[in-house]
Amino acid sequence: MRSTRVRTATLAAAAALLAGLAVAPAAHAGTHRHAADPTLGQLAERTGRYFGSAVDNPELADTPYADLLGKEFDATTPGNGMKWYATEPQRGVFDFTAGDEIVNYAKAKGLKVRGHNLLWHQQLPDWLTSGTWTKDELRSILKNHITHVVKHYKGKVFAWDVANEIMNEDGTYRENIFYKTIGPSYIADALRWAHAADPKVKLYLNDYNVEAVGPKSDAYYTLIKRLKADHVPIDGFGMQAHLALQYGFPDRMQQNIQRFADLGVDVAITELDIRMTLPSDAAKLARQADWYGKVTDACLAVKRCVGITLWGYSDKHSWIPGVFPGEGAALPWDENLAHKPAYDAIREALR
């Protein structure tokens, strides 16, 4: 962990940088890392971890964006291309075009790929959500989907978010189509089927608002402990980390990561961004930088925290403004692909 003195120096430097950006041309704002300096991916690799960024298919057509993504990071996650609506748009008819495009891009750039995701309550195809299924029918559909998708990407992804966002904020199970029809056993089933399709890939549960110790993360702790006791293949827990300055930093984040690691599973920060109420200013960006440093520190402090993935690296393609009106500026690069203080805070922590 960094000392208070170093943290204070970082904040001062961030404020000074923002003051300089106010008068510097935007085109030069992101050039303070020398080309010979190690990238975030390289710095993370020195700690035995990865540092990645999600990408969606349309973004690959933005050549400067895609080129920087390939140069700065060592891992990526498809934002949408591997979700159910994309991979099985009709029952039993699979389409891997979008996912394959990102896998091929990653291979060309030397990036590892996290698979995201095998089941979720959103972005399901109409044929699935509009159907009336018995328990056995839906189990068969779910098994077939997971088996086909995991086998297709066998050896091409190193981890899968198998079950995504399956808990409510109070720690009860989300009543998605799978829970309502099959019951909670669908979670263990999904993990077993994914393992059978690719015994080497790492299998994760993944959710948001689980970075702090609280009812939701407690529920996952209990679930993972029970899955382990029942010898269900579960390798990791993904903390999305969609944070917001106005809600405060997650309580006891490092301790929370550690308690999951103590269960014998890996932990990954899977979808990191830190939004703010717009407009941004020097003080907000300095605080954001401090938080990015704290998240990185928390991961580095726990041996089984294996890596960090940003949910997109630049405000140019961020999902935040479209979902949270009046909020944004959530990522370490701005709309012009220039570094913000958050980038320097991450680098400092990784060093």
φ/ψ of 115, rounded to 5, equals -80, 135
Contact criterion met (CB below 8 Å) for 271 and 54: yes
User: Is 271 considered catalytic here?
Assistant: yes
Contact criterion met (CB below 8 Å) for 214 and 239: no
User: Is 165 considered catalytic here?
Assistant: yes
> How far from 162 is each of 82, 148, 192, 239, 247, CA to CA, in Å?
11, 13, 10, 13, 28
Contact criterion met (CB below 8 Å) for 293 and 4: no
Contact criterion met (CB below 8 Å) for 320 and 300: no
How many Cα atoms sit within 13 Å of 160 on the Cβ side?
32
Distance separating alpha carbons of residues 54 and 40, to the nearest angstrom: 14
Cβ-based neighbours of 287, under 8 Å, separated by 6 or more: 245
Cβ-based neighbours of 70, under 8 Å, separated by 6 or more: 105, 108, 109, 110, 111
Cβ-based neighbours of 144, under 8 Å, separated by 6 or more: 92
Q: Select which of 88, 165, 211, 348 is catalytic.
A: 165
Q: Select which of 271, 327, 335, 348 is catalytic.
A: 271
Residues forming the active site: 165, 271
